[in-house]
Chain A
Amino acid sequence: MLAGCDSLSRSEWFPKVLSAAEELNRSAHRLLGGRRSMAQEFTQADLSPDFRSNGTADPDSAQYQALADNGFADYRLQVDGLVDKPASFSLTELRALPRRTEMTRHDWVEGWSAIGKWKGARLASLLEVVGVKPQARYAVFYCADPMEANGTGLYYESIDMDDAHHVQTILAYDLNDHALPVKNGAPIRLRVERQLGYKHAKYVMRIDLVESFAKIAGGMGGYWEDQGYEWYAGI
């Protein structure tokens, strides 16, 4: 039985059959709760003393290190793709956008959870500034951290427009009342509260509004998705 399962896991077709569950999960979740259900929010007493850093803790990139050395004064978040007015935002400009503070639980795909207090610009407000074209279906987040030792394989992620416009979806710049530490994604980290940790892209440098992500990197919509993880990470 084991050998059978192993060869099935490595086959071309069987993982595709298994992945039918991903679409079922996504549809069932939407059906049960609508698009705007709210993630649980916690109180100060629930905050985890230390917010674990998973994945990249300090991006191995000269460009990023130069930004960090200067306290991200030269950082600019590029927003383009299917938008009316492509623009870039400094940290000061991001801090001036309508913001939200939320104490939420971060669930890593491996099984850990930690509760943090996040403050950031509402993504919906930022998208309003640039004007999203009607054909845009996904927001793709390009990050500063290379995932390969040779400096390639920059982390990226994508979410749909429901999540992009969700009240709790923010571009966080503060964690637990302090500027977001480098290990947790400074200067900007995406919070998409109803999904697992790998959707919460750290070190966000650029947001690209697209109709399809099929031609980006491995074509599955994110760095971990290209490694076989589900695009829909609500479970």
Chain B
Amino acid sequence: MSEVAVGRIGRSSASSLYYRHTLPVRTMHWINVVALTILFMSGLNIFSAHPALNWGRSSYDGHPAVLEIGAIQDPAGKLVGVTRIFGHDFVTTGWLGVSKGRDGEVMATTFPSWLMIPDFRWLAMARRWHFFFAWIFVINGLCYVAYSIASRHLSRDLAPTSTDLRSIGQSVADHLRFKHPTGEAAKRYNVLQKLTYLAVIFVLLPLVILMGMAMSPWLDSLWPGWIDVFGGRQSARTIHFIAAWLLVLFVLIHVFEVIISGFWNHMRSMITGRFSVEQRVAHDAKK
């Protein structure tokens, strides 16, 4: 940990730049951003080859689909996007089922073209993107976990302390009021942040990988029947899809928190490593 004092004497407060993110963490973070974005967008393209989700070992076990996205024509001949969730229909024109294509024309497409890689239905190419970046994502993730253990990033920065765990209630209240720690406290992750990162790193990301692997008929043969633990191949596909959207939800909240708690400060710390912490001069003088 190194600190560079940049505060000027005579002011009521000063800030110091604190070395928050090491180069490996920063590098792996941005590789992950690129890989996950491409995996998500190419994954939506793959999904649109069969825009429905089922639960069970096969698609034809008699149960209705969990989710179906499609398009119908209304009496006037206009295309209407319809999303059916557990048998309930919702009109989702503009987003799901029907939206603007790459040339701006309204068309039947599961997801808007701007959300997909490639930007129109092209299963073979979407699979190529998906599987290539899946390797990057998995190798990067394994490196991150190994580094976090070896460098003690995991035990020092991510593992919640007993004090942390006792302050969960306070942390929830702080988040709801968009109140962010300042000074020394801003140097550490807060307890909700730690728990969320741990859940994403050790639950959600492994789950999305495992459920992706469960869809591979060859990997299913490694230990025949292992995917039944998750309800079978179609269930695995459904879980893969839901986990992917939970990751999107995490990213939205993550970016939101970054924006409201000092966007440029956070961006600098994830690019150069240095994070600015406000400090009272009186406090500094005691050191």
Is B276 interfacial (CB-CB < 8 Å)?
Answer: no
| Residue of A with least CB distance to B218 | A234
Asked whether, in the complex, the Cβ of B132 is within 8 Å of the Cβ of A40, the reply is: no
| Chain A contacts with B in 195-235, Cβ cutoff 8 A | 195-196, 224, 227-230, 234-235
Q: Which residues of A contact B135 (CB under 8 A)?
A: 21, 24
For the complex, give the distance between the alpha carbons of A48 and B219 in Å.
Answer: 22
| Among B2-10, B56-64, B146-154, B186-194, the stretch in contact with A | B56-64
For the complex, give the distance between the alpha carbons of A37 and B220 in Å.
Answer: 9
How many chain B residues have a CB neighbour from A under 8 Å? Answer: 43
Asked whether, in the complex, the Cβ of B119 is within 8 Å of the Cβ of A195, the reply is: no
Asked whether, in the complex, the Cβ of A107 is within 8 Å of the Cβ of B60, the reply is: no
Q: How far is the CB of B63 from chain A (nearest CB, A)?
A: 12
| Among A58-66, A85-93, A112-120, A178-186, the stretch in contact with B | A112-120
Is B127 interfacial (CB-CB < 8 Å)?
Answer: yes
| Among A1-9, A135-143, A153-161, the stretch in contact with B | A1-9
Is A84 interfacial (CB-CB < 8 Å)?
Answer: no
6 residue pairs, one from A and one from B, having the closest CB atoms: A234-B218, A111-B50, A48-B60, A228-B124, A235-B216, A37-B221
Residues on A lying within 8 angstroms of B by beta carbon are 2, 5-6, 9, 15, 17-22, 24-25, 29, 32-33, 37-42, 46, 48-50, 52, 105, 107-115, 193-196, 224, 227-230, 234-235
Known: A5-B119, A21-B132, A40-B227. 15 other contacts (CB 8 A): A5-B117, A5-B118, A18-B128, A18-B129, A18-B131, A20-B132, A25-B216, A32-B222, A33-B221, A37-B218, A39-B221, A40-B221, A110-B123, A229-B123, A235-B216
15 A-B residue pairs with Cβ-Cβ distance under 8 Å, sorted by A, are A20-B132, A33-B219, A37-B218, A39-B217, A46-B58, A46-B61, A48-B60, A49-B62, A50-B60, A108-B50, A114-B59, A194-B220, A224-B124, A228-B125, A235-B219
